[in-house]
């Protein structure tokens, strides 16, 4: 499944149902660039989970709304509610295990 790019206009509807992992990131962030390919790979491997990204440079209001203080910040939403978050670039196996623990 392709990674969806979210902004203030489509965020609420995108996370309203199912399980959605959102990556809050920015182009200038080195760890974000390291995490990006891993995030893309998992989106193709985990078809019961939706993967989405929010560029905090373009959507600062979402970063503020969800109190994103450092990036990358990964937030898992279940039926529109935040259930967990993790900060920093992490290896693929750890990321998969973290997501699976919330299913």
Taking residues 66-84, report their average pLDDT.
Answer: 97
What is the DSSP-derived secondary structure letter of residue 85?
Answer: E
Q: 67 lies in which domain range?
A: 4-98
SS3 state at 15: helix
29 found inside a domain? yes
Residue 37 within a domain: yes
Strands 50-55, 19-25: pairing is parallel
> Quick check: is 48 catalytic?
no
> Which CATH number fits the domain that encloses residue 66?
3.40.30.10
Total domains, the chain: 1
- Catalytic residue (choose from 15, 20, 29, 35): 29
Catalytic choice (6, 21, 22, 32) = 32
The answer on pLDDT for 1 being more than 90 is no
What confidence tens digit (pLDDT) does each residue in 42-56 have?
Answer: 999 999 999 999 999
Dist. CA 32–CA 6, nearest whole Å: 16
Q: In the structure encoding, which two tokens stand for residue 83, read together?
A: 């259930």
pLDDT of residue 13: 96
Residue 47 counted as domain residue: yes
10 catalytic per annotation:
no
On whether residue 103 sits in a domain, the answer given is no
Rounded mean pLDDT, 7-18: 96
Q: Indicate the pTM of the whole model.
A: 0.95
Secondary structure of 52-65 as H, E, C letters: EEEECCCCHHHHHH
Distant-in-sequence, close-in-space partners of 46: CB < 8 Å, separation ≥ 6? 96, 99
Confidence category of residue 31, pLDDT binned at 50, 70, 90: very high
Flag whether 59 is in a domain: yes
CB-CB contact of 7 with 63 (8 Å): no
* pLDDT tops 90 at residue 71: yes
The answer to whether 43 touches 27, Cβ cutoff 8 Å, is no
pLDDT band at residue 2 using 50, 70 and 90 as cut-offs: confident
**Mean pLDDT estimate for the chain:** 96
């Amino acid at each position: 499944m392709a990674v969806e790019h979210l902004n203030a206009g489509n965020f609420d509807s995108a996370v309203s149902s199912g399980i959605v992992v959102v990556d809050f990131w920015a182009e200038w962030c080195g760890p974000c660039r390291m995490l990006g390919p891993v995030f893309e790979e998992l989106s193709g491997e985990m078809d019961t989970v939706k993967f989405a990204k929010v560029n905090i440079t373009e959507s600062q209001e979402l970063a503020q709304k969800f109190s994103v203080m450092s990036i990358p910040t990964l937030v898992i939403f279940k039926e529109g509610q935040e259930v967990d978050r993790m900060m920093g670039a992490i290896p693929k196996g750890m990321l998969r295990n973290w997501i699976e623990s919330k299913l």
